[in-house]
Amino acid sequence: MRAWRSVRCPARSLRQSARYASNAAQSGRSGIAAILGREEPVDNAQVTGWVRSVRKQKKIAFAALGDGSTLDSLQAVLKPEQAEHLSTGTAVKLQGAWVKSHGSKQSHELQVSSVSVLGENDAENNPIQPKYQTPDFLRTVPHLRSRIPNNAILLQLRSRVIASLTRFFSDQGFVQTHTPIITSSDCEGAGEVFTISSNASKDATQKAKPEGEAKVEHFFREPKYLTVSAQLHLEALAQAVDKVWTLSPTFRAEKSDTPRHLSEFYMLEAEQCFVDDANQIMDLIENMLRYVATDTLDSKLYRELLQSRGTAAADEGDSHVDSASLDKRWKGLRASYWPRITYDSAMHLLTTAQEEEQVRFEHAPSYTEGLAAEHERYIASTVGNGSPVFVTDYPAEQKPFYMSPSATGSSTVACFDLLVPDLCELVGGSMREHRSKELLETMNAKGVAGLEWYQDLRKYGSVPHGGFGLGFDRLLCYLSGVANLRDVVAFPRWYGRCDC
Amino acid sequence: MRAWRSVRCPARSLRQSARYASNAAQSGRSGIAAILGREEPVDNAQVTGWVRSVRKQKKIAFAALGDGSTLDSLQAVLKPEQAEHLSTGTAVKLQGAWVKSHGSKQSHELQVSSVSVLGENDAENNPIQPKYQTPDFLRTVPHLRSRIPNNAILLQLRSRVIASLTRFFSDQGFVQTHTPIITSSDCEGAGEVFTISSNASKDATQKAKPEGEAKVEHFFREPKYLTVSAQLHLEALAQAVDKVWTLSPTFRAEKSDTPRHLSEFYMLEAEQCFVDDANQIMDLIENMLRYVATDTLDSKLYRELLQSRGTAAADEGDSHVDSASLDKRWKGLRASYWPRITYDSAMHLLTTAQEEEQVRFEHAPSYTEGLAAEHERYIASTVGNGSPVFVTDYPAEQKPFYMSPSATGSSTVACFDLLVPDLCELVGGSMREHRSKELLETMNAKGVAGLEWYQDLRKYGSVPHGGFGLGFDRLLCYLSGVANLRDVVAFPRWYGRCDC
């Protein structure tokens, strides 16, 4: 009985409750999720949450209660007068007896002795209604849509994956770092960037006079941008502590309006020194994703993720992932072997498949033009057999300046993309050019100017190293079966849209 | 012997090495830190790292090797010809025998059989020299300064504290979230904000014509800003899953040039629903910081932090924290009781102290003018006896619109600041006004416009809740004894300065 009350503890007793909460956490969940796991009856239980639905009959009323910790609801049995002020969405505190249920839909129920309504709830005018609403509409109310149980599960998933990754990297001796958001560098030399200015300097910028050279006062003396990648800064920090990682916001000002692009997204990036070969970085990625999958596969959260696919947006259409397909993705991440094929082999495979009419591509595969999405999809689905596939050693001209040449030849670079079924590119990485002269030559050849500080890293204590970047929100799409990045990010930002 | 080699594993054997690395991690460290803990001799050991110093004699040479995992160096004993190409900073791979040392400075040493120099190192022109260099100078080379052992320890500390916090919140059933960086809200209604624009819209902005209404094209349709706090968005997500937290970059475009302010910094913020009383939030903070301190106090990292104080910047002057003072800070965080006094009592205490001439303040304490830094310092040092102190229930007019009235009266709000010795304010928090009408009234009274989405949270399923924000970089200053925020952040940004 005490363990329950501790879910909501009175002031000054959190120390005690921390112990209980920790017990609950061992089963992976807290709140109503933890309560629903209780088999033994509890005389004087206390539960808090939001009413998901309420059903009033003449002599009895039923309320389903949730708090985002589980898809399941707790069934509360009330007298009709106790349910008088309850409507969908109301926050309540209920006290009563936790007993075996007479109903067939749940094993236990709460026979309520007292009800406290905790705050206002205008159920009628709530934009979120207990019926099917399109993802497009829900994106207009990001401040409310996370309350839908399927969306709350996505918040739980993000949290759990972050915790897994933090443990994985810590066990592996990687140092988690905070790389800067405001920066001078445009890592890829591609993609539009966001420029920042301060209130103080805005006036000067906007009143630039056409008749003369307006002196623009910049907060940081010169224009600065929102980071497009933490990589270059991570490389600097790797030379201090050998192995580093970060999970950091990243920005692109591209006017893309697709389910696969956001203006603001999270990237997981890592760099490791004293690495001889891109295979070591690929090993790291395999181990990392296998760890994350293994860590969650046996959990209630995982079973609920599968379950949520049943009620997921019907209008996902062709991109809808059912629970069997989702299960296959997770099992694929646990596969002990992920194929690694070179770009060259991939091209050969695509050309052969096209010639033998196993597939008809919209664009014929071309070595110089690179892999199109349809090609990546074909490789991911045919080579991997459910597991992800590494494509390695791309032509140098398709890749940024900082990559090392492949061991086997100088026209390709020691890099890889990780392709997963349906979603295609999830991770990109490479060995980094650690030789001063060669780096400068490639920068010149590719027209990358400046970055003297980055060149410094090759002059003083340079060392072979490599790393990768993983689109974290894409990973969550892959793990949840949600088709659109805008629906795994709580407050998504894309071209023309930045609600709340 | 194998365990060692595994520190640098050959390609495709990471699975095996992961096991070893994990063993190393159980002792809390990897790399050279793990190797230095080995008592038994190893015949054919392999070590990688950077040369910290090299000493060449006629018949023998010594190199001290580090990799950022520890302040200590590994002593390598070489033949003079093996040391020929070694200089301070060189990245090397050494093979040899790990044996008990003849020297008195270390228990073991590596008798080197083979040396590989891994990359370039222009020791002479390296801006980082193996001698005392001022913090001011080092801030001009942020891409290199983390290599100084005392700075590498700060990277290790940040990583360890993040991992502790992640575990703490996960155990407590809190959901870690990613709140948006680009936002419309200016949470506090105070402080300068950074405005963002895209390359695409920049031209339009700069060419605003004086003769007519220039149409400025905004990437997001209207001007957007870099977030000054995650709080409002966290409040929305708390209503979906009850308890949420985030560790997120935060921005202020203030032209402050002090050791206590940065333009870009990390805030740890949390919100919890179904809370009756600010004391529950204060309990949470106590438990959290006590957990972090306890988690690290017995570690080698902690002993090295104390050790680093001995060689820390001599020019920290009055603000220098020696190892005894630092130890006192950590022990204070473990204290079982942290005093909580009201603003009213604090004022009384200050006035009495001044009247009784126990202290002479530059500014006399005044109820309406609030606590100045000197007052906070006095309270922190006299009330807490080494532990942090909560000051609660400030006058409403000193605080933002979103705070609830105190239970005891409506002229104060149910809030608190956590003051720590030397550093003053580390955390601020409160109960949030969860009643729709009262929130709107306060917003109007304080001149806060808009935020309709935030008002929505009070209309649909509103619930009593509270939360806090902790200056994460300030916490690291407090835990490390480093006086200046610019030195615990790898790439600090402040007015006029954004290097790299």
B177 pLDDT above the threshold of 80: yes
Question: In the beta sheet, which residues pair with residue A442?
Answer: none
ipTM: 0.93
Distance (Å, whole) CA A430 – CA A406:
10
Confidence of residue B493 (pLDDT cuts 50, 70, 90): very high
CB contact under 8 A, A155 and B175: yes
Q: Which amino acid is at A177?
A: T
CB contact under 8 A, A498 and B266: no
Taking CA–CA distances from A206, the nearest residue in chain B reads B206
- Residues A44, A99: contact at Cβ < 8 Å? no
Question: In the beta sheet, which residues pair with residue A47?
Answer: A94
Tell me the chain B residues in contact with residue A91 when contact means C-beta distances shorter than 8 Å.
273-274, 461-463
Confidence of residue B222 (pLDDT cuts 50, 70, 90): confident
Tokens of B441: 């009234």
- List pLDDT tens digits, range B435-481: 999 999 999 999 998 899 999 999 999 999 999 999 999 999 999 99
Query: What is the pLDDT averaged over residues B180-191?
Result: 73
CB contact under 8 A, A25 and B453: no
Tell me the chain A residues in contact with residue B24 when contact means C-beta distances shorter than 8 Å.
173
pLDDT at res. A186: 60
pLDDT greater at residue B221 or residue B86: B86
Average pLDDT, chain B: 89
pLDDT greater at residue A314 or residue A329: A329
Distance between A365 CA and the closest CA of chain B, angstroms: 30
Question: In the beta sheet, which residues pair with residue A94?
Answer: A47, A115
Q: Which amino acid is at A498?
A: C
Tell me the chain A residues in contact with residue B498 when contact means C-beta distances shorter than 8 Å.
180, 182-184, 220-221, 224
Confidence of residue A30 (pLDDT cuts 50, 70, 90): confident
Tokens of B397: 């007019």
Look up tokens 């870690």; give the residue.
B176
- List pLDDT tens digits, range B380-409: 999 988 899 999 999 999 999 999 999 987
Q: Is A387 on the interface with B (CB under 8 A)?
A: no
- Residues A223, A231: contact at Cβ < 8 Å? no
Instruction: Report CA dihedral (A258, A259, A265, A271) to the nearest 10 degrees.
Output: -100
What are the start-end ranges of the H helices in A311-392? 323-334, 343-355, 373-383
- List pLDDT tens digits, range A298-323: 999 999 999 999 876 555 666 789 99
CB contact under 8 A, A123 and B163: no
Distance between B329 CA and the closest CA of chain A, angstroms: 21
| Per-window interface: B 184-203 vs A, CB < 8 A | 184-185, 192-200, 202
CB contact under 8 A, B182 and A143: no
Confidence of residue B317 (pLDDT cuts 50, 70, 90): low
Tell me the chain B residues in contact with residue A163 when contact means C-beta distances shorter than 8 Å.
166-167, 170, 176
Q: Is B440 on the interface with A (CB under 8 A)?
A: no
Question: HSE on the CB side for B217, CA within 13 Å?
Answer: 12
Distance (Å, whole) CA A468 – CA A286:
12
Residue A118: strand, helix, or coil: coil
* Total CB pairs under 8 A between chain A and B: 445
Tell me the chain A residues in contact with residue B21 when contact means C-beta distances shorter than 8 Å.
171-173
pLDDT at res. A257: 87
**Considering CB atoms only, which of B50, B209, B453 is closest to A143?**
B453
Distance between B359 CA and the closest CA of chain A, angstroms: 33
B107 pLDDT above the threshold of 70: yes
Query: What is the pLDDT averaged over residues B331-342?
Result: 94
Supply φ then ψ for residue B309, to 5 degrees: -65, -30
Q: Is A456 on the interface with B (CB under 8 A)?
A: yes
Nearest one of A372, A342, A341, A340 to A359, comparing CA atoms: A372
Q: Among A172, A463, A474, pick the best mutation site for testing chain B contact (most B Cβ within 10 A).
A: A463
pLDDT greater at residue A26 or residue A367: A367
Q: Is A211 on the interface with B (CB under 8 A)?
A: no
Confidence of residue B336 (pLDDT cuts 50, 70, 90): confident
A427 pLDDT above the threshold of 50: yes
CB contact under 8 A, B195 and A193: no
Count the Cβ atoms, other than its own, within 10 Å of residue B307. 17
Q: Is B226 on the interface with A (CB under 8 A)?
A: yes
